[in-house]
Amino acid sequence: MELNDNYCVIRTYYPLDCVPWFLFRYFNTTDNNLQYWGLDYPPLTAYHSLLCAYVAQLIDPSWVALHTSHGYESQPHKLFMRTTVLVADMLIYIPAVILYCCYLKDASNKKKISSALCILLYPGLILIDYGHFQYNSVSLGFALWGMLFLSYDLDVWGSIAFCFALNYKQMELYHSLPFFCYLLGKCFKKGLMGKGLLSLMKLGFTVVVSFAFCWLPFCMDVRQILQVLRRLFPVDRGLFEDKVANIWCTISVFFKIKTILSAETQFKLSLVLTFLAILPSCIKLTMQPSLRGFKYSLGCCALSFFLFSFQVHEKSILLVSIPVCLLINEIPFMSAWFLLVSTFSMLPLLLKDGLLLSYIVTTLAFLMVCGTSFSILEKTSEADLKLKMFSASIRNYIPWFKIFPKTMKYLFLVSITMMGILTLMSATLDPPQKLPDLFPLTISVVSCLHFLFFLLYFNVIAIWESKSSSNQKKSN
């Protein structure tokens, strides 16, 4: 069985009753071209592909014919692929979003509905999953289910859900440290010589069993496991490939880091900077585990990985965006702003897929819903931005320090205007011949500067979180 257009196509040359086809999706053969058909995601993606492929074969075998389906395109086929994305959303992602919003603490029914609507209308996930034929919402949905279980002290179920997320897409490693630190912090609070040790052993056993269940068909041969790992972590591709809005692509505009530093040095530098960036929020979460701190740590760690880690893809920003979506009821102005920038950062990828009109429509719809539901331009005070404690701490040393609401509004409007101008130029103008990547690089640099600002902001909230809020058991 093979992948077509980032989707599944059935291969019949391996008897399904004697050799599981997905074991060979990770190997290069005469029938499995890794550059086109190969899988570079964990086993749960392969199982999902198998299920979808059988359904596709029942509808139209030509969609999944070996070799001849290479490059196959038709409107019914595209409709089927988008339908499979919708079905996956309805089974996993959408129920998790609705339940999360239904149980928001101290929120009116109107706010709960508004939060759910804004999260479900986030344009980045819609454009990538439905326009690019991806299933990011499956792994993100599992991660969200994990967070929901943790919020009700169902730690074992939360661990299982997150293990499924990690075994569907390896990029969920972006969220792994907050899950680990939160659960470890809870064990510390119980006492590692008593109930805490028992809880830690129970969670460790749960993780091992969950991974064993997902990887069971691959465990018969070490060669299989090593090949899958090589496909999951393609370090040979280098520090970055496409024009991604992270620090390495931005630095390369001025300092050709890929040619000046060796590959080994690049990897070590990336590892160190990523570790340093995630350290503050992870330490805070371990020492003072709270659901509010957990949500902010998810955003901090995911954004740190996106900005500093090795071999990042443009659409990896979705792993940051979903935790930020969960904060839209708490910090609507900053959440909406970040989500708009995150979608804009993927503009070069969206233009390649011919999704300009869809990008404009979904972005304007999202902005309109956020503006009318939360009045985001009126939520720019220190209290609204959750920066009162931080500002008070700074004023102990700088008495005149204050965050002015008008300044935040001005920065937001400048940001929106800049993104609009760059979108228009990218869509209508041809770059100079000597600078063919002018517009994608400009978009990457502008987005990266935004993300560095948001990384500082989220870390400030996570670190200055009050001790009283660390004891909350429900999400705000």
pLDDT (tens digit per residue) in 277-286: 999 999 999 9
Query: Would you put residue 67 in left (φ > 0), alpha (ψ -120 to 50) or beta?
Result: left
The residues spanned by each domain of the chain are: 108-132+234-466
Q: Provide the 10 A C-beta neighbour count for residue 372.
A: 10
What lies within 8 Å, CB to CB, of 252 at 6+ separation is 240, 258
Residue 51 host element (H or E): helix 43-59
Q: Is the pLDDT of residue 5 over 70?
A: no
Q: CB–CB of 135/129 below 8 Å?
A: yes
CA distance 402 to 387: 10
In the numeric block, which tokens belong to residue 197? 């040790």
Q: How far apart are CA 100 and CA 161, in angstroms?
A: 15
Helix 195-215 to helix 155-166 angle (10° resolution) is: 30
Distance of CA 186 to the CA centre of its chain: 25
Assign 1 a pLDDT band (cuts: 50, 70, 90): very low
Angle in degrees, CA 159, 163, 164, rounded to 5: 120
Q: What is the mean pLDDT of the chain?
A: 84
Q: Is the CB of residue 45 less than 8 Å from the CB of residue 84?
A: no
> What's the confidence (pLDDT) of residue 378?
86
* The two three-digit tokens of residue 228, written as one number: 């899958």
| Ramachandran area for residue 133 (φ above 0: left; ψ -120 to 50: alpha; else beta) | left
List b or e across 424-443, with b for residues whose CB sees 16 or more CB atoms inside 10 angstroms: eebeeeeeeeeeeeebbbbb
Residue 359 has pLDDT above 50, yes or no: yes
Residue 381: which residues within 8 A CB-CB, separation 6 or more?
A: 403, 405
- Counting residues of the chain whose pLDDT is more than 90, the rounded percentage is 46
Spell out where 291-437 has E strands: none
The amino acid that residue 448 corresponds to is: C
Q: What does the alpha-carbon distance between residue 293 and residue 458 come to, in Å, rounded to a whole number?
A: 10
Output phi, psi for 159, to 5 deg: -65, -40
Mean pLDDT across 353-379: 91
pLDDT-wise least confident of 148-157, 188-197, 338-347: 188-197
Asked whether the predicted pLDDT for residue 197 surpasses 60, the reply is yes
351 by DSSP, 3-state: which? helix
List, for residues 432-458, the tens digit of each pLDDT value. Answer: 888 888 999 999 999 999 999 999 999
Alpha helices in 121-262 (DSSP H): 123-126, 136-151, 155-166, 173-190, 195-215, 222-232, 247-252, 257-260
**DSSP state letters, 403-444:** --HHHHHHHHHHHHHHHHHHHHHHHH-PPPTT-TTHHHHHHH
Own/partner contacts of 344-347, CB < 8 Å, gap of 24 or more, are 344/419, 344/422, 344/423, 344/443, 344/447, 345/245, 345/314, 345/317, 345/443, 345/444, 345/447, 345/451, 346/124, 346/127, 346/128, 346/314, 346/315, 346/317, 347/422, 347/423, 347/426, 347/443
Other beta carbons within 10 Å of 112: 17
Residues 28-80 pLDDT 10s = 666 666 666 667 788 898 888 888 888 888 888 877 777 666 767 778 888 88
Summarize pLDDT for 14-32 with one digit per residue, the tens: 333 334 555 556 666 666 6
- Cβ-based neighbours of 192, under 8 Å, separated by 6 or more: 200
For 366-369, which contacts have Cβ atoms below 8 Å and span 24 or more sequence positions? Answer: 366/118, 366/121, 366/122, 366/123, 366/336, 366/339, 366/340, 367/336, 367/340, 369/114, 369/117, 369/118, 369/121
Q: Let me know how long the chain is.
A: 476
The pLDDT value recorded for residue 405 is 80
Residue 67 φ/ψ, nearest 5 degrees? 70, -55
Q: Which residue has the tokens 């954004």?
A: 303
Residue 361: what pLDDT? 95
